Amino acid sequence: MNAETAPAQKPKSSWVNLVVDFGPLLIFFLAYRHFSPAGEGDTIGTVSAVIKGTIAFMIATVIALGVSKWRLGHISPMLWLTTVLIVGFGALTVVFHDAFWIQIKPTAVYLMFAAVLFVGLMRGKPMLKYLLQSAFEGLNEEGWMKLSRNWAWFFVLLAVLNTALVFTVSFDTWLQAKLWGFTVLSFVFTFSQLPMVLKHGMGEAAKEEVIENPPHD
């Protein structure tokens, strides 16, 4: 088979997915840290840092869309929906000078994804496959349904955790938990799904793709 007749290979995702998924949040964290006031009790300085970090977050998210299209050849529906909510809640944060909006954004994202997945389950459709635009090699329909169900409940858990943090801890603590705690939780949960998807037909070679393509906010 020559180059003209060979099927096009799927672009390698690996580090690109990590940058697209978690890069904007890291930019938000670094920008907020950079502009945060040195001493405690400077409410105006903290709000200013949140706003500047939010603007950086919004810009980085839009850039991530371009990177996804450029390197992966597509933009998943999940990334589109997340970007719309980031820009929307980010704009509310900037306009009203209130960090609450960017903090509650993850809750809105988690609940939206959970709702989409639960509606799909009621209709007998594994909506996670369409949100991710991924076809994990060998995974059968039953496996996709179980994966959609498990992620739906996990999103509900994350929504509850995020909301609890918003109302009980400082912005700085919330941001630390969002960047490090929620990211670790998502990867641990993703790893926990491997035995199930392998049992439902997914090949060993596709494990890396599952780990590289976890749903995210």
Instruction: Answer yes or no: do 58 and 117 share one domain.
Output: no
Q: Could you tell me which of 86, 79, 117 has the C-alpha nearest to residue 102?
A: 86
Domain of 197 in residue numbering reads as 98-212
Instruction: Answer yes or no: do 92 and 104 share one domain.
Output: no
Q: How confident is the model at residue 68 (pLDDT cuts 50, 70, 90)?
A: confident
Please state the rounded mean pLDDT for residues 183-190: 91
Instruction: Answer yes or no: do 113 and 157 share one domain.
Output: yes
pLDDT in tens, 25-39: 999 999 999 998 876
* Greatest mean pLDDT among 11-15, 114-118, 183-187: 114-118
Q: What is the mean pLDDT of the chain?
A: 85
Residue 2's pLDDT is 44
Instruction: Answer yes or no: do 176 and 137 share one domain.
Output: yes
Instruction: Answer yes or no: do 58 and 161 share one domain.
Output: no
Instruction: Answer yes or no: do 185 and 204 share one domain.
Output: yes
- Given 65, 97, 129, the domain boundary residue is 97
pLDDT in tens, 77-112: 888 989 999 999 999 999 999 999 999 999 999 999
Q: Helices 43-67 and 100-122 sit at what angle, rounded to 10 degrees?
A: 40
Task: Pull the structure tokens for residue 139.
Answer: 């995974």
Instruction: Answer yes or no: do 83 and 93 share one domain.
Output: yes
Task: Pull the structure tokens for residue 91.
Answer: 């704009």
Residue 7's pLDDT is 40
Q: Is residue 33 part of a domain?
A: yes
Residue 76's pLDDT is 81
Instruction: Answer yes or no: do 192 and 127 share one domain.
Output: yes
- Given 72, 97, 122, the domain boundary residue is 97
Contact 22, 183 (CB under 8 A): yes
Residue 209's pLDDT is 62
Residue 6's pLDDT is 39
Q: Could you tell me which of 196, 181, 206 has the C-alpha nearest to residue 150?
A: 196
Q: How confident is the model at residue 134 (pLDDT cuts 50, 70, 90)?
A: low
pLDDT at 61 over 50: yes
pLDDT: which is higher, 8 or 171: 171
Contact 134, 74 (CB under 8 A): no
- Given 97, 123, 138, the domain boundary residue is 97
Instruction: Answer yes or no: do 103 and 203 share one domain.
Output: yes
Please state the rounded mean pLDDT for residues 115-135: 88
**What percentage of the chain reaches a pLDDT higher than 70?**
82
Q: Is residue 5 part of a domain?
A: no
Length of the chain, in residues? 217
Please state the rounded mean pLDDT for residues 185-191: 90
Residue 213's pLDDT is 64
Domain count within the chain: 2
Planar angle of CA 112, 117, 123, nearest 5 degrees: 130
pLDDT at 12 over 80: no
pLDDT in tens, 139-186: 888 989 999 999 999 999 999 999 999 999 999 999 999 989 998 999
Residue 199's pLDDT is 87
Instruction: Answer yes or no: do 65 and 78 share one domain.
Output: yes
pLDDT at 128 over 50: yes
Q: Is residue 6 part of a domain?
A: no
